[in-house]
A and B are shown apart, each in its own frame.
Chain A
Amino acid sequence: MSARVTRAVAIVVVVSITALTAAAQERRATTGESPGALVDRARAAYAQGRFQEALETARRAAEAGPRSVPAQLAHGGMAEFMGEFDEAYQAYARAQALAPNDNATRYRVASFATRIGDYDRALRELDAILATQPKAAQFFFRWAPPFVQKPLLKRSPALEQFVDLQIDILMEKGDLAEARRLALRHAIVDSGRDYCADANQKKTGKGPSDEVFKAFRLAALAQPNAADCIWWYGQWLADEGYMRLGRLMVEEGTRLTSSQGNRDSGNRFVRIRLGGARPVAKRAESVFLIAKQRYLRDGDVDGAARLFDESLRLSPTFARPYSYKARLALDDGDREAAIRWLRRGVDADPESWRTWHNLGRALLAVERWDEAEHALTKTVDLFPDDVGGRLALARALYAQGKWDGYRKQTEYAVGFARGYRGPDVVKEPAAFFDKFQRWGPGAVLPPTPDPRVILGWNQD
């Protein structure tokens, strides 16, 4: 009996989630410009990393098949992937209008709603999917004990995806307790297992970031009292650009810690790294993350620039897009424009340590020493352990003949970096400093590497 119910739930959800693929067979013809053929071509382009072409082909598929659910979903999916959220919203709405009871469509809509921060809508869609299942299946899914759920989820990745989405929504909403309850109930995590050890190992290795993310996520779900682990998860998320979830995790780690020093440090991290009193809208964060991908991964400068602008329109005090706008300006060789963007960034969020850091380094590059000194002094005031910031400040001071200041900043930076990451991390500045100590000032300026020293204080 229970095996039959398990199978029923699994099959329904698998069918729902993979309906997109199956429904491609709905195409009107196998050749020419039929919606089905266009959907296939869009998928092929996507698989080969030609994302812009994939979106354009999906658009044509949706136009060619205005009543084709797969074509509308393909269009919505590609537009969502590329950060064209208004376009995605309309495509999903058309798909849902065509097939209001289709679970594949509901799932895609739920996922999209999560991405743009409409969590209630996302949960409603998931509930609706579950409500279409036989009563026995629903009962089983809700109440079967973890040891029964585990093999079910193992056999059905689609079902696991369904539960994961529920958990992600709850975490993003800030309902960590409910997310943990769900993770335990569906055996996404096992109680008693040390996920933190696994996460820490992955964090220090050179594995793919997806793996680190998954490992930390499981640790945060399974070990509610592991303050450090949850905290590191938050800092890792901050580097990756997940401002909201990162903030939630750092705040949770800070709440759990017993040390006042750690509490202060956590509060500072939220203030100077995660927007502090200027929280970022979920949609702005999502647009920003996709813009980064379009710029870094695809080299799509125009698309990325438009999305960074969109992110700033949605959250004008979100500092990170300003740094990326500056990078785009630098890529064009326009250093002054880069500096203007960074100044706008620190105006928008005067406590954004990284934006000050970037501004200081941009000013160094144009040899505006006194302005660089000011920006970098602000940088290290905000975050005293910023090795790259201190080395940059040391250079600004050296260029102005402020030898004592140079000495002080370099000694601090080199000492801290050596203590944290070993002697090689600041080898060049240290060698330069030794010569300075031996022979006095030389003609060239000290090197200013910007080493990755502490997780959570990098990127941008």
Chain B
Amino acid sequence: MTRGLNRAVATALTLAALAAPARAADVYRWIDGATVVYSDQPPPEGVILTSMPGRPALPVVTAPDAPPAEAAIPTPSEVVVSTRPATVDEIFELSGMRPQLPSIARALGAEYLPRPGQLGERDTVLVAQIVGRQFAPARLYAVIRDDFRRRVDQQQLDAIAVWFRSPLGRRITALEIAAANPDAAPRIAAFAAGLKTSPAPAPRLDLVQRLDWVTGTSQETTDLALAIAGSVARAAAAVTPAERRARAGLVERRIEEMRGQMAVVIAENVLAQMFYVYAPLSDAELRQYVDFLASPPGRSYGRIAHSALLRVVREVADRTAFEVLRAVPPQRWAATQRTAGPSTPR
């Protein structure tokens, strides 16, 4: 549930925050040698490739608080709780992982797409085809499901299913799926803005912070963002001539150095989104959810799902970046951008 939602929404919003001027200060991104650089300053003259993969920015919403989505949330009377042996597919359906995977794939894959006008039409299509093939949700799902299946036994699955089949579990999944809908993005942004002027009460803040801890959502989103950034940096290093290539190991070190600075932005976004998504829940309901996630079955589900997702995204990200830069070398991205005039912060 939270796993699915947080991945889809947090990843989308957070990656957007890194790629677009979603905050007060503009964030610029470019590739320096084999390193992806994030900065609030524009890149120096003569940078090889500026703002490699971009994606459409989320709309910046300045309106105050917006109500969270309530639509399509089943009431307890609509739910029949099953006692049959659980399957991985059922767990992924009930938890929201499968329904939300297309959003996750779209958000991650969009990081490799050129900005409008950054590449010629042929190259743009070529890149989109590569990304579409690599980030095909069905393909990702099959890998995650098989990986998950190898790591859990029936007893664990049944224990996990108890929560996800419960009325509250289903209600929370529905909230998460509703918030993962792209239409919800402006409302989430507005809600987050409202939090700055009207902070949440301390007990709620504590619950939400604990929710982030037991799900590991902030860290997971950081890992995913770094997997994407790292894939681009590694691929760029691989296609750089040997005499200009960064020292072996340097790329990985730089990527790790980025972790701290990204984690702060990501954690803020994740907490804001959680406040929005679970706003319809009482503290007691939210505490029940947190307690499940902190329990052995909840932790198993969270950890195994996290590592399965991360593994597949790392593999796909590396393959995508290599394939993209082989098909459209960095010089073509840079050359196109130079002819397009001054770069726009992403």
Binding site for B on A (CB under 8 A): 48-50, 295-300, 327, 331, 367, 399, 427-428, 435, 439-445, 447, 449
Contact = CB atoms under 8 A, between A and B. Distances in A.
Contact of A299 (B213, B219, B242, B256): B242
Contact of A443 (B216, B242, B247, B249): B216
Given A428-B259, A441-B299, A443-B293, 4 more contacts: A327-B248, A367-B307, A439-B214, A443-B216
Given A428-B260, A444-B303, A445-B303, A296 B216 contact: no
Interface string B277-308: 00000000000000001100011001100110
B323 to A, nearest CB: 15
21 contacts: A48-B243, A50-B243, A299-B245, A299-B247, A299-B248, A327-B249, A331-B248, A367-B307, A428-B259, A435-B213, A439-B213, A439-B294, A442-B215, A442-B294, A443-B216, A443-B299, A443-B306, A444-B216, A444-B302, A444-B306, A449-B256
Contact of B220 (A297, A300, A444): A444
Interface in B203-259: 210, 213-216, 219-220, 242-243, 245, 247-249, 256, 259
A441 B294 contact: yes
Contacts of A299: 242, 245, 247-248
Most buried by A among B219, B248, B249, B302: B248
Contacts of A428: 259-260
Q: How large is the interface on B (under 10, 10 to 19, 20 to 34, 35 or more residues)?
A: 20 to 34
Nearest to A301: B248
A440 B294 contact: yes
B215 A443 contact: yes
Interface of B: 210, 213-216, 219-220, 242-243, 245, 247-249, 256, 259-260, 293-294, 298-299, 302-303, 306-307
B101 to A, nearest CB: 18
Nearest to A446: B219
Contacts of A444: 216, 219-220, 302-303, 306
Given A299-B248, A440-B294, A49 B214 contact: no
Contacts of A442: 213-216, 294, 299, 302
A49 B247 CA distance: 13
A417 to B, nearest CB: 16
Contacts of B220: 444
A443 B243 contact: no
Most buried by B among A299, A427, A440: A299
Contacts of B210: 439
Nearest to B218: A444
A296 B247 contact: yes
B170 to A, nearest CB: 21
Contacts of A298: 242
A300 B256 CA distance: 24
Nearest to A328: B248
A443 B242 CA distance: 41
A399 B300 CA distance: 10
A295 B250 CA distance: 12
Contacts of A449: 256
Nearest to B244: A49
Given A443-B293, A444-B219, A49 B306 contact: no
Contacts of B294: 439-442
A49 B293 CA distance: 55
A427 B298 CA distance: 27
Contacts of B219: 444, 447
Contacts of A399: 303
B300 to A, nearest CB: 9
Given A441-B294, A444-B306, A297 B213 contact: no
A443 B248 contact: no
